Structures are given as structure tokens and as C-alpha cells.
Amino acid sequence: MAITLTYGSTTLELPEDLLWVNEFRWSPVAQATERSLTGALLVDAAPRVGGRLITLAGSEDSAWILRSGMETLLAWAALPEQQFTLTHNGVARTVIFDHGTAEESGAIKQVEPVIDYSDPEPSDYYCSLELNFLEV
């Protein structure tokens, strides 16, 4: 099934063999616990509203993307707080790129070049990749 990322009226088809590696690690419940002065356990729980991590990853031998697609992803990731529609397994989600807090962005990670070209063309398979999003 197709995996797509849409910005406005432009849709980029992503490699179909990207795996959502953290799909079942997210909890829809936020919870904090602490002890009172009497020793009783105090539990505060509420539904989470947004913030689900979505990591789509390939391996060295999968999830190849054309250089033109990589250029599009990098241009989109450079738009601060811009929302996109990610469609995966027929479900559309509103997402932003997850840049993290480090100096180097964690939004898009190139895994390995397919072939080390010194001057790749837009139509050349460029690399496999990992994409990190936050659902909003």
C-alpha cells in the first residue's frame, strides 16, 4: 500500500518498504505518580492530545528514494512548524517533522547511499532513509 506525504496540493510518494518501527510503542495515556506525605500513591492520568512519534525507517537494502524526492523532503523539513498529511496503510495523519533538540536535525536521516555518485541526477536512486515525525 502506498505511503505518501502531502503538502498543500503536492504529494510525494515515499518508498513502500518503509517500516513504522515505533507504531505500537506510543501510549494514548499520560500518567504521573508520586507519594503523598502520608505515603499514599497519588496517580494523575489523562488522555494524550497529539505528540505521537512516527518513525518510518528502511534498511541499507530497502526504502530507496530518488534524489529528487530527497530534495523535496529536505525542502519541506526546512519549513518550521509546517503541517503535512502522512498517509500510511490507508490512514491519513497530520504530522510535522520531528527535528529533536540537537544541533543536527533528526527529522531525516540518510541511511546509506545506493551508489556513491559524485554528481547524482534527480532521477537516480539516492539513498535509503529514516523519517521522523510528530503527529499533531
How high is the pLDDT of residue 134? 95
Domain count, the chain: 1
Domain interval for residue 98: 3-135
Grid cell digits, residue 74: 529536505
How high is the pLDDT of residue 10? 97
**Torsion over CA of 80, 50, 54 and 15, rounded to 10 degrees?**
-70
Helices H / strands E in the chain, number of each? 1, 11
Mean pLDDT (10-residue bins), the chain, 136 residues: 94 94 94 96 94 89 86 94 96 96 82 71 78 96
User: Exposure string (b/e) for 44-73, b if CB count within 10 Å is 16 or more?
Assistant: eeeeeeeebebbbbbeeeebbbbbebbebb
How high is the pLDDT of residue 111? 61
